[in-house]
Structure 1
Amino acid sequence: MKKQDLNFFGAAKDKNVIIIQLESFQDMLINMEVKGQEVTPTLNGLVNDSFYFSNIYQQIGAGNTSDAEFLINTSLYPAGNKPSSKVYENKIIPSLPRILSKEGYYTSTFHADNVEYWNRIKLYPALGFDKYYEEEFFGKKDLVGFGPSDEVLYEKALEELTALNEKHERIYAHVLSMTSHTPFELPKDKQLLSLPSKYHETKTGNYLTATHYADYALGKFIEGLKQKGFWDNSIVAIYGDHSGFHPKPEDAKDKKLAEELLGHPYGLVDRFNIPLLIHVPGNHKGENKSIGGQIDIMPTITNLLGIDLDKQIHFGQDLINYPNHNLLGMRYYLPAGSYINKDFLFVNREDEGRGQVFDMKSKTTVNNNSEFYKEGSESEQKKETILKLLNLADYYLNNLPEKDEKSF
């Protein structure tokens, strides 16, 4: 498709770029209510005022949150059984920060954790960020779990973005939340959701409480972006890094509570489904039900910015203009060769002689799945395609040039 024929190509041209990664957020939270209370009122409001992609799936490997950062900024498959931040720490990786730097953007990433965790101290230079802000910048105020609360993260990030905006014509900021991290245990003053007694001291209740607070803090950040003039001059993308709620087989009470909330048994489709919302100033909004993955976020954003990726190797696709026939790979959390498309989530269990298949519409298992594992079947062909894509990504990344040691 020619650039001039692409829908929304350049709709956010020359706008600031703010991408927010929500810790452990799953799409099932969107529009969920408990006792008449919205779990995520901030995100629910954005659904009506943004591009909302409701069928997006995590594709992280062993690097978890840091692999989500890698995927969003490269549109390349992560390493799999080892964190990408370790495997590719000395590479010069083609990335969104490098693309935007060429377009005159100052690029930065904000995370209130220690920068050495997940080897981010090497990941960020490999991705080409101009600057990172970490634990030392955010301080020790209002500690919850791994570090300062999301309210502190957003408050200090907004202050710095305002200062950067005065020095630079355009900015790209990747902002990573943290308070909704497992085990989802918040102090009383941050437990803002009033839950029925059956949720007390359950994983389900803790998860809903933590994500409700994260949504509340996000709402304060968005209000700040509006007050400082960013909202009308920025493309703001919000997505979940990975699943957070995955009860063990023995957690019968939590499984029952989840089933009551969802109206169907909780399974892998629910677990891996993450939200993606992209707000663009203007009348660009509506739900998009096309299947996509984290690997597709960068090409979708560059299309909105009017940036052509034809000369850059990437494995994702623009979700707005190529909504059909997507085939997504995942490994580590699923065996290599597993895939997701618009019809099925296929779990490759070749070593065990059998696997699982989930129907994407009903989100339940396909009981008679023997046809999926027959040699020469359409499913086996998709599996082989995914294995080839993973191998190509590995080969490409392993053969990238290495960088000189660099510090910020």
Structure 2
Amino acid sequence: MSASLAAPAPPASPRLARLWQGLAVFGPYAPLVMMVLVGLVLLSASRLGLMAWQWERVSATGLAGQMLLQGVRVDLIQLGLLALPPLLLAPFLATAPAWPLWRRLTWLWAILAITLLVFLELATPGFVGEYDSRPNRLFVEYLKYPREVSAMLWGGFRLHVLAGLSFTALAAWAMSRLMRPWLAEPRRGKHWQLWLSWPFVFLLVAFAIRSTTDHRPANPAMFALTADPMVNSLILNSAWSVAHAVYNLKHEAESGAVYGEMPVEEMLATVAAARGAEGLTSVSAALPELPTLSRLLPSRPRARPLNLVIVLEESLGATFVESLGGLPVTPELEKLKEQGWWFEQLYATGTRSVRGIEAVTTGFPPTPAQSVVKLSLSQTGFFSLADLLGRRGYHTEFIYGGESHFDNMRSFFKGNGFERVIDEKDYQAPVFTGSWGVSDEDLFNRAHQEITAHHAAGKPFFTLIFTSSNHSPFEFPDGRIELYDEEKGTENNAVKYADYALGRFFEQARASAYWQDTVFLVVADHDIRTKGDSLIPVERFHIPGLILGADIEPRRIRTVASQIDLPVTVLSLMGIEADTPMLGRDLSREAADAPGRAMMQYEQHYGWMEGQRLVILRPEKEPAHAVYDPAAKRLALATEPPADAAELERRALAHVLLPSWLYREQRYRLPDERTPARTAGPAGSGAMRATGG
């Protein structure tokens, strides 16, 4: 054994020495017991602090005491997971020959474990403030983009970062001091005592991890005690929240299974029956491997179809649009809405940019999994507007002000029909560059140049423009707008600047030759912060949407609509006749008084809204029913399910299972043009069941 492992520890204080004398009864398990005790105190104190901070929402549930008790149960699960690796080594290392190694290993393990718990708990208030939840999958995903995230944190959260790192270092030092006497602890007892006790200790830890005698071990859904997802997340601890998110990443292909099962044929029939059929003719009988393939007959046939420009606005929720019940920080958008089709009840499918990209560029519905922009099976051969229009001779491009590799955008776009990607490195002498790339001014100036060149060359084009100025830490050039808030770097000022840049772009576009030959879609990817005290904060999914350009006349679209309806609708207005697998409705053919429908994925909750009625699917729980009041922006849970609850739940389940199944089976694509149509049996055997996987 090396001298470093066998070296005695410095003497500890008398009080600390007495504490370890008391722990001596636990023999070789003493450092793990210390880790558990410290962890319980630390995590409970953190939970108390978070509950006090969010007391208004916590007290509204009336479950504060139960939250604390269930929180201890969650903490035991996490601490059991942390104790398990060294415990598995105990029969081999907690013996006399390896005792110095066991002491050093468990000393280091306990320090690292507590330091990790402290770090994640210190990161929690900032994450809750930004995303209304404890750290989750998003926390892990952002680790893949250190440049963008570090710039954002340093630019907007510098004091938080420095304080967090300082307290984390302090916790590591304090835990090392607390654990110091263990390094001098002699081995007590006989080998047979260790081997006899080990199975009982192992079973105790295993039960703590499982935390239930039910057929399934405990999971976050078991601790969802309230209708407020943020409050439910406080019951957890951040280490377990992140660990469970990472664990679920390997089950992405089976994500829909958390809500239930349905035979494939029933799922396909249910979705087909719920879809607006006017202007759409199914062609899946000739191509049964593509069961959602339908022919779109445009509502405005044209000898020469129009060009398409989609402006995807970062985080521009209805909360920033005065005519939609928000703040008066988008005056340019308010002017533009008088010039085209304005959507009054348009809802995002999710809460992240990639979810908005997924819906608007591919028409793909949301699932509990990551967006298909990030998933492996959709990196090539997946349907997109760029693929469809590229096959018709359109030049297709994506224009962004930041690094296009972020959120895997470049890979997804290049693999699915976009010929060209323009990002931060392609701008010469930009007006302004911030943490997330060049300003929206630079972005739109470049887009205007590119579009003008395409039109002058006589080549049809599809251009996707994705803004980024409205993103924390909210950086933009000076002297452009009259600030809404006194402090410059706020979301309200960033939105107002983004709106200013949008207005300038459309001034240029309207005065340009390409205006009369182009349909423009302006839509948000999601709201800036999707949070609320309801199972699904529907008001935070409400986003603006506008179609204008060419011969598009002013119109108000009052039906409930989803982002996945937009690509179908713009194709119809462009005059494109095409076969597509998209499930969206052609809103250019929709009756003005139609109730409409929308779908929303919020963490593990899936919302299906028809008119003002909403059914919410939840993992391992019965579906909840509610009514949404768009005027009051409030969701009211129903005390009793409606008479047609079973039908609503069936439609919701079919629509959340289908996209997972289409993704896994790779059936959301255009037919290979080299393969002739053929006839065959049904798309899925009745014996199969759609579970999302």
Task: Pick the TM interval, shorter chain.
Answer: 0.7 to 0.9
Moved more, 230-239 or 184-193: 184-193
Normalised to the residue count of structure 1, the TM-score between the two structures is 0.80
CA RMSD of aligned residues (A): 3.2
Checking the alignment, whether the CA contact within 8 Å between 2:350 and 2:541 is kept in structure 1 is no
* 1:304 has 2:573 as partner: yes
Q: From the superposition, tell whether residues 401 and 49 of structure 1 become closer, same or farther in structure 2 (CA, over 3 Å).
A: closer
For residue 247 of structure 1, report the CA deviation from its aligned partner. Answer: 6.1
Partner of 1:74: 362
Checking the alignment, whether the CA contact within 8 Å between 1:32 and 1:39 is kept in structure 2 is no
Larger Rg: 2
- Counterpart Cα distance in 2 of 1:300 and 1:109: 20
Residues 35-77 of structure 1: per-residue CA shift (max 9 Å, x gap): xx9421211111111011111101036xx21221221121112
Partner of 1:330: 600
Q: Which 5+ residue runs of structure 2 have no aligned equivalent? A: 1-277, 281-296, 670-693
Moved more, 89-98 or 182-191: 182-191
- Counterpart Cα distance in 2 of 1:151 and 1:319: 31
SS of equivalent residue, structure 1 residue 19: strand
Aligned residue among 628, 631, 648 for 1:359: 628
Aligned residue among 394, 398, 401 for 1:109: 398
Partner of 1:121: 410
Q: Which 5+ residue runs of structure 1 have no aligned equivalent? A: 250-264, 404-408
Matches within 5 A, 1:266-281: 268-281=537-550
Q: From the superposition, tell whether residues 278 and 12 of structure 1 become closer, same or farther in structure 2 (CA, over 3 Å).
A: farther
Matches within 5 A, 1:149-164: 149-164=439-454
Partner of 1:387: 653
Q: Which amino acid aligns with 2:386?
A: P
Checking the alignment, whether the CA contact within 8 Å between 1:89 and 1:122 is kept in structure 2 is no
For residue 350 of structure 1, report the CA deviation from its aligned partner. Answer: 5.9
Percent of pairs with identical residues: 22
Checking the alignment, whether the CA contact within 8 Å between 2:301 and 2:576 is kept in structure 1 is yes
Aligned residues: 370
SS of equivalent residue, structure 1 residue 48: helix
Q: Which amino acid aligns with 1:86?
A: K
Checking the alignment, whether the CA contact within 8 Å between 1:22 and 1:239 is kept in structure 2 is yes
SS of equivalent residue, structure 2 residue 650: helix
Q: From the superposition, tell whether residues 381 and 110 of structure 1 become closer, same or farther in structure 2 (CA, over 3 Å).
A: same
Q: From the superposition, tell whether residues 317 and 225 of structure 1 become closer, same or farther in structure 2 (CA, over 3 Å).
A: same
- Counterpart Cα distance in 1 of 2:303 and 2:648: 35
For residue 2 of structure 1, report the CA deviation from its aligned partner. Answer: 5.2
Checking the alignment, whether the CA contact within 8 Å between 2:615 and 2:648 is kept in structure 1 is no
Partner of 1:59: 349
Q: From the superposition, tell whether residues 358 and 212 of structure 1 become closer, same or farther in structure 2 (CA, over 3 Å).
A: farther
- Counterpart Cα distance in 2 of 1:113 and 1:80: 27
Partner of 2:517: 233
- Counterpart Cα distance in 1 of 2:567 and 2:582: 9
Partner of 2:5: none
- Counterpart Cα distance in 1 of 2:668 and 2:575: 29
- Relative contact order (C-alpha < 8 Å, sep 6+): which is higher? 1
Q: From the superposition, tell whether residues 334 and 14 of structure 1 become closer, same or farther in structure 2 (CA, over 3 Å).
A: same
Aligned residue among 386, 389, 399 for 1:97: 386
For residue 16 of structure 1, report the CA deviation from its aligned partner. Answer: 1.6
Q: Which amino acid aligns with 2:373?
A: S
Partner of 2:93: none
Partner of 1:172: 462
Q: From the superposition, tell whether residues 212 and 402 of structure 1 become closer, same or farther in structure 2 (CA, over 3 Å).
A: closer
- Counterpart Cα distance in 2 of 1:56 and 1:85: 22
For residue 106 of structure 1, report the CA deviation from its aligned partner. Answer: 0.9
For residue 276 of structure 1, report the CA deviation from its aligned partner. Answer: 0.8
Checking the alignment, whether the CA contact within 8 Å between 1:140 and 1:147 is kept in structure 2 is no
Partner of 2:506: 222
- Counterpart Cα distance in 2 of 1:291 and 1:401: 28
Normalised to the residue count of structure 2, the TM-score between the two structures is 0.49
